Amino acid sequence: MPKISILPQEIRNKIAAGEVIERPASVIKELIENAYDAGASYIKVEFTKGGLERIAIYDNGEGMDPEDLRLCYLPHATSKLKSAEDLYRILSYGFRGEALASIAQVSRLKIISKARGQDLAHEIEVAFGEEKSFRPSHLREGTQVIVENLFQNLPARLAFLKSPKVESAKNLELLKALMITNPEKHFEVYAEGKKVLSWEGGSLDALFEYLYEIDKKHLREVYIETLPYKIHLLLSEITHTLSHGRFLHFLVNRRLIKDERLAKVFYSLLKKFYGSLGFPIGVVHIEVPVFLVDFNVHPAKWEVRFRKEGELYQALEKALTELHRKKRSLYLEDKGRPEIVPQVKEDLPIEYLSQPKDKPLRQAEPLHFQELKEEEFQILGVFKETYLLVEKGENLFIIDQHALSERLHFERLKEGLSPTHSQRLLLPMVIKLLPEMEEHLEEKLALLSASGFEIEAFGRDALILRAVPSEL
């Protein structure tokens, strides 16, 4: 008897579905992209129990004929590709014919659709890959897709998912990113029966202001063309950064991607302009001719490959440099500085040891280095409100104050010297939570409490800070 055997079709279908549909957010992504391909201008999203119980997505796009509706859930059924050459000129979001087929394999699926120009809508019901019914139905226009009991036939996958609350947060995080790809679309999003997002369409910067509560005046935008690439950057200022890059979105030809190589390169380029002060909120949109990019890398279509990567990275650096040049400096607000006279001039005159006559350097707070005595170094001043200039012997040290503070706190924690005494705030501070912040919130609150913070829930989507460690 041979040891190798051909897997049954049912197992093959489940394996393929697992590559495309990892969690409820994957279902939402695929259905939203289908709505975009259908030319929808209005999209309504509803989910309950984090999407595990029910996901319903309606769009007012072109809809499907009864014949197409009968085929759409079958493996590799697609209207986007007709030949192998089409893989090298992909203009649509979907093209592999795997999304609806994968959803159908791991859920109870109902699709109601009415094609433009048709008098009657039709609906099809599929239960875990098997068609159950097909009949006329009622729908004014477009398509409604309802997904229920997700992963009910895959207990192992179900066991690895997070709580409904966490899955809801992941759904909203992804939905916001998908809205950014097409800011002109009208969106309504309901979670557990409550409207959580409502956007009637508008500009990209206005959408960022709505989604992330960041004032448009703190966003900087640049658009450059370096053939064959066009780069559009919309990034928050250095004063509005985060410790992570989750809200820095990458788009290629309006497609949301999560490409690790591209992200690492861009993060390294950011260091030149943002230092170690965190990651901006924003979007990096790359437009490239379809024959120079390959979207057919992963079944979920998250990754891409570029034929001229080196030129792309140069274009990204050029765009960041242009953004920096337009702002003069991402570290300082433009406060109407006098025009610089074109002449060679030192930032720090050689006579800095003597007392300046006009305006002395702004002195920083004293530093406390365990290895150095105070007389061994001299603080000269602060450069661009960010860097300490410290002289020791014949050497000049440029110290990032933010990084220094983080390192000092890290060393204290590592030595078990984290503060335990708290100091109450005169006015408690209310911190509004984004849904994406709720993951592992209870664990983080316990850690903060042990470190000297007094913080507690304040309503459904906020925290109230009453005390902080005394050393802060």
Q: What is the pLDDT of residues 292-313, one digit of tens each?
A: 888 877 666 788 889 888 999 9
**The pLDDT of residue 381:** 86
- Give the type of residue at 91: L
User: CB neighbours (10 Å) of residue 443?
Assistant: 9
- 8 Å CB contact between 263 and 313: no
Residues 40 and 182 reside in one and the same domain: yes
> Per the domain annotation, does 450 fall within a domain?
yes
Q: What was the pLDDT predicted at 81?
A: 61
**What integer is the mean pLDDT of 81-99?**
68
Claim to verify: residue 90 and residue 238 sit in the same structural domain: no
CA dihedral 253, 254, 258, 262 (to 10 degrees): 40
pLDDT at residue 367 in the model: 47
Quote the pLDDT of residue 357. Answer: 45
Domain extent for 461: 418-471
Question: Domain check: are 381 and 461 in the same one?
Answer: no
61/184 same-domain check: yes
The CATH number of the domain where 314 resides is what? 3.30.230.10
Q: Are residues 395 and 457 in the same domain?
A: no
Q: Is residue 316 part of a domain?
A: yes
Q: How many CA atoms lie within 13 A of 275 on its CB side?
A: 18
- Write out pLDDT tens, residues 263-274: 999 999 998 888
- Give dist(CA 63, CA 80) in Å, integer: 15
Per-residue pLDDT, 329 = 42
175 falls within a domain: yes
Q: What CATH code is carried by the domain that includes residue 445?
A: 3.30.1370.100
Q: Within this chain, do residues 405 and 429 fall inside the same structural domain, yes or no?
A: no
> 280 with 390, same domain?
no
Highest mean pLDDT among 176-190, 314-328, 367-381, 433-447 belongs to 176-190
Are residues 25 and 161 in contact, defined by beta-carbon separation less than 8 angstroms?
no
Burial of 132-143, coded b for 16+ CB within 10 Å and e otherwise, reads eeeeebebebbb
Domain's final residue, options 178, 202, 226 = 202
Question: What is the CATH classification number for the domain harbouring 122?
Answer: 3.30.565.10
Of the chain, the percentage scoring pLDDT greater than 70 comes to 78
Position 16 in a domain: yes
Model confidence at 47, pLDDT cuts 50, 70, 90, reads very high
Let me know whether 245 and 292 are in one domain: yes
Q: Three-class SS of residue 290?
A: helix
- pTM (two decimals): 0.73
86 and 159 belong to one structural domain: yes
User: φ, ψ for residue 194 (rounded to 5)?
Assistant: -110, 135
In a domain, 345, yes or no: no
Q: What is the pLDDT of residue 156?
A: 83
Give me 362's structure tokens.
């702004």
Cis peptide bond prior to 24, omega within 30° of 0: no
Residue 132 domain-assigned (yes or no) = yes
Extract the tokens encoding 449: 């409490």
- Tell me what percent of the chain is helix, strand and coil, each rounded to the nearest 5: 30, 30, 40
Work out how many domains the chain is built from and give that number. Answer: 4
Query: Which range has the worst mean pLDDT, 61-65, 74-78, 147-151?
Result: 74-78
Q: Is the pLDDT of residue 345 over 70?
A: no
Question: What is the pLDDT at residue 126?
Answer: 96
The predicted model gives 69-97 an average pLDDT of: 73
Cα(48)–Cα(148) distance, integer angstroms: 10
Which residue shows structure tokens 């006279």? 341
Establish if 329 belongs to a structural domain.
no
Q: Are 273 and 188 within one domain? A: no
Q: Are residues 146 and 192 in the same domain?
A: yes
Confidence (pLDDT) at 350: 39
Confirm whether 363 is domain-assigned.
no
Q: What is the DSSP string of 108-124?
A: EEEEEEE-TT-S-EEEE
pLDDT digits (tens, 9 = 90+) for 10-30: 666 666 666 678 899 999 999
| pLDDT computed for residue 282 by the predictor | 96
On whether both 155 and 197 belong to a single domain, the answer is: yes
Q: Is the pLDDT of residue 358 over 80?
A: no
Mean pLDDT (the chain, rounded): 82
